[in-house]
Amino acid sequence: MAKKRQETKPPKRKTADTGDVHVEDVMDTKVKKKKIKVEAPIQMQTDEEKTMKKKKKQTQEQTEKTSLIKISDSTCGTEGKHEPDGEEDLSPEERRVLERKLKKILKKEEKKRLKEEGKTAPKTKPSEPIAPQQALDYLTCWAQNRKEWKFQKTRQTWLLQHIFNSEKIPDEKFPVLLQYVEGLRGGARDTTVQKALALVEESGQAPEDGTVQQRAQRAREVIQLLS
């Protein structure tokens, strides 16, 4: 008789849900712990690096400032004075660059000091326009010292632009300017005549405007001279 085959029962399986959930929870907990352990040192290292970089930058600026002061002192010293070691090899251009850096550093420190004291740096007053004075000096030199006088197109352009304006060119300077204008040639002469004609025509439309009439009077003199 054939032996009865022994029926093998399949091994009991653990509940998938319970086992999986348990394993996943354990794994998640381990991963979270690893993350916490790894992230904390990284953050501390980053802060430390920032501090080290800041200290390094301050040390570098202080070293550069000391070097610049030495160079500045050696540059301003008397002839024959021995220069600091290592600085005698610098070219004049390199010295100028270092001196400019020194000025910027000193200016920055001055602003910082004033800010800490609750003060503000004094504002420099805007310089007065020098173009009018330079143009009038140019005209005076032409009239009184012709040997030293040199033609300057910029000065002439300014004079011709304001020739009819008594506020820019005083009445005592206008006769001299007429003499100068008499020698004009080419486009400058033609343009000046056209402006004068336009002002005379404008004066007819504004007979009560004193400024317009004053400019028109100058324009008539220019037209009479150049026509």
Burial 162-176 (b: 16+ CB within 10 A, else e): bbbeeebbeeebbeb
Q: Report the pLDDT averaged over residues 27-47.
A: 53
Q: Rounded CA gap, 96 and 92, in Å?
A: 6
Residue 205: closest CA among 215, 217, 213, 196: 213
In the chain, where the domains are located? 20-77+88-116, 131-226
- Max avg pLDDT among 31-35, 42-46, 113-117, 153-157: 153-157
Q: Tell if the pTM clears 0.75, that is, is over it.
A: no
Q: How confident is the model at residue 34 (pLDDT cuts 50, 70, 90)?
A: low
State the average pLDDT over residues 100-116.
81
Q: In this predicted model, what pLDDT tens digit does every residue of 149-168 receive, in sequence order?
A: 999 999 999 999 999 999 99
Mean of per-residue pLDDT scores for the chain: 74
Is pLDDT at 172 greater than 90 in this prediction? Answer: yes
- Work out the pLDDT band at 129, boundaries 50, 70, 90: low
**Which residue has 């005076």 as its token pair?**
140
Instruction: State the pLDDT at residue 79.
Output: 40
